[in-house]
Amino acid sequence: MPVMEGRSVAERWKADAANRAKACRARGIVPHLAVVLVGDDPGSQIYVRNKEKACEKAGILSSVIRLDADCTQEELESVVKELNEDEAVHGILVQLPLPGHLSEQRVIDIIDPKKDVDGFHAVNAGKLACGQKGFVPCTAIGVMKLLEAYDIPIRGRRAVIIGRSNIVGKPLAMLLLAADATVTICHSKTENLKEITRQADILVAAVGRANFVTADMVKPGAVVIDVGTNRLNGKLVGDVNAEEVSQTAGYLTPVPGGVGQMTIAMLLSNTMDAAEQYGF
Ligand code: NAP
C-alpha cells in the first residue's frame, strides 16, 4: 500500500513560505508570529519549539510570550490585546490546551481575526462555513493540501471524518464539502460507526485514541488520513492501527511524518498571508 507521506509535501510549502518571507523582508516588512504559551506542559513546549524552529528556517520572526501556569484570564487577555495592537506582529497563536482555570474560548474570541493564523476565531470559522476567504485551521487545510499533492479525487466521493472538534473535524468537513465530497462527521455518540466508516472513499481519523481505526472499519482501497497524535509506550502513534489498515487501505498517512508536518507548513503559510495582508 502506498504511504502518503507529509514530509516532502510540507517541505515544498515551507520553501514557498520562505520565498514569500524573503520578498516581504525585501520590502522592509519582517513577518512576525507571536506565540503565547501558558504554563510548562511538556507537549506544548515541544510544539512551540518546533514552531519556532520552522519560523526561523523560513525567515519568519517568532516570539514566544511565556506566562505562568497560574496566570489569570485577565493577564492572558491583556497580553493578547497588546499583540492585537502591535503593528509589528502579523500572526497571533495561543498554544492550547490552556490550564483548566482559563477559558480557551474567551481568549480565542479576543484575538484580532486578521491575526488569527490558527483560524479558530468564530469570524474565521464563519467565513469558512460560508465559503469566504479567511484563516483556515492549519491541520484541516494541511490535510487538503496533502490530498491535492497526491491527486486524490474528492468531487463526488464519500468522505467520513471521525471527530468533530472545532480544530480539526469541523473545519475539515467544511473544506471537503467545498471540494464537492459527500461528507459525514462521526463522534462519540455515533451509532454503527463501522458501517459508516466502511463506506468512506476518504476516511479521516481525528479522535485522539491509539489504534482506534482497525482494518474492519476501512473499505478496501480507501484513502486513510491519520490525524491523531498519541503516546503509546513512549512512542508517538496515530489513531489508526497502521499495521492492520495498511493491508486494506489504498493510501495511509504515517505518524509521525504525515499530517503533523503539514500542520506546521500551513502555519507558516497562514502567517505569510497575515504579513502580506498587513504589509502591502
Ligand atoms: P478532540 O477535541 O478531543 O476531539 C476528539 C473527537 O473524537 C471528538 O469529536 C470525540 O467525540 C471523538 N471521539 C472520541 N471517542 C470516540 C469514539 N469512541 N467514537 C467516535 N468518535 C470519538 O481532539 P482534536 O483536537 O480534534 O484532536 C484529535 C487528535 O488529533 C488528537 O490525537 C490530537 O492530538 C491530534 N491532532 C493532531 C494534529 C497534527 O498536527 N497532527 C493537530 C491537531 C490535533 P465527541 O465530540 O462526541 O466527544
In tens, the pLDDT along 184-202 reads: 999 999 999 999 999 999 9
Q: Are 34 and 65 in contact (CB under 8 A)?
A: yes
Q: 110 to each of 57, 63, 65, 74, 77, how far by Cα in Å?
A: 29, 19, 17, 11, 7
The residue whose grid cell reads 506566562 is 67
**pLDDT tens digits, residue range 210-266?**
999 999 999 999 999 999 999 999 999 999 999 999 999 999 999 999 999 999 999
Mean pLDDT (the chain, rounded)? 97
* Confidence class for position 1, pLDDT limits 50, 70, 90: confident
Minimum CA distance residue for ligand 1 atom 19: 188
The predicted-structure confidence for 40-90, as pLDDT tens digits, reads as follows: 998 899 999 999 999 999 999 999 999 999 999 999 999 999 999 999 999
Query: Is residue 118 a contact partner of residue 48, using CB atoms and an 8 Å limit?
Result: no
Question: Does the bond joining 31 to the residue before it have cis omega, within 30 degrees of 0?
Answer: no
pLDDT digits (tens, 9 = 90+) for 100-132: 999 999 999 999 999 999 999 999 999 999 999
118 is catalytic: yes
Hey, which of 227, 231, 263 would you mutate to test ligand 1's pocket, going by the most ligand atoms within 8 Å of its Cβ? Answer: 227
What is the structure's pLDDT at 169?
A: 98
Residue whose CA is at the smallest distance from ligand 1 atom 42:
139
Closest-lying ligand 1 atom to the alpha carbon of residue 208: 32
Residues 6+ apart with CB under 8 A from 76: 36, 38, 67, 94, 98, 102, 107
Ligand 1 site residues (CB inside 6 A) read: 139, 162-165, 167-169, 186-190, 193, 206-208, 227-230, 259-260, 263
Ligand 1, from 44, 207, 229: best to mutate by most atoms within 8 Å of Cβ? 207
73 in active site:
no
CA of 89 to the centre of ligand 1 (A): 31
Share of the chain above pLDDT 90, in %: 97
Q: Do residues 159 and 178 make contact, with C-beta atoms less than 8 angstroms apart?
A: no
Q: How far is the CA of 97 from the centre of ligand 1 (A)?
A: 13
12 Cα: distance to centroid of ligand 1 (angstroms): 27
Output the nine-digit C-alpha cell for 238. 496515530
Give the pLDDT of residue 278.
65
Length of the chain in terms of residues written: 280
280 has a pLDDT exceeding 50: no
Pairing of strands 235-237, 230-232: antiparallel
- The protein residue whose alpha carbon is closest to atom 48 in ligand 1 is 188
Instruction: Examine the pLDDT at 17 and tell me if it is beyond 60.
Output: yes
Q: Which pLDDT band holds residue 150 (cuts at 50, 70, 90)?
A: very high
Average pLDDT rounded to a whole number, residues 138-161: 98
Q: Which of 114, 116, 118, 273 is catalytic?
A: 118
For ligand 1, the distance from its centroid to the CA atom of residue 99, given in whole angstroms, is 19
Mutate which of 93, 187, 217, 236 for ligand 1 pocket (most atoms within 8 A of beta carbon): 187
Taking residues 170-189, report their average pLDDT. Answer: 98
Which pLDDT band, with edges at 50, 70 and 90, does 277 fall under? confident
End-to-end CA distance of the chain: 46
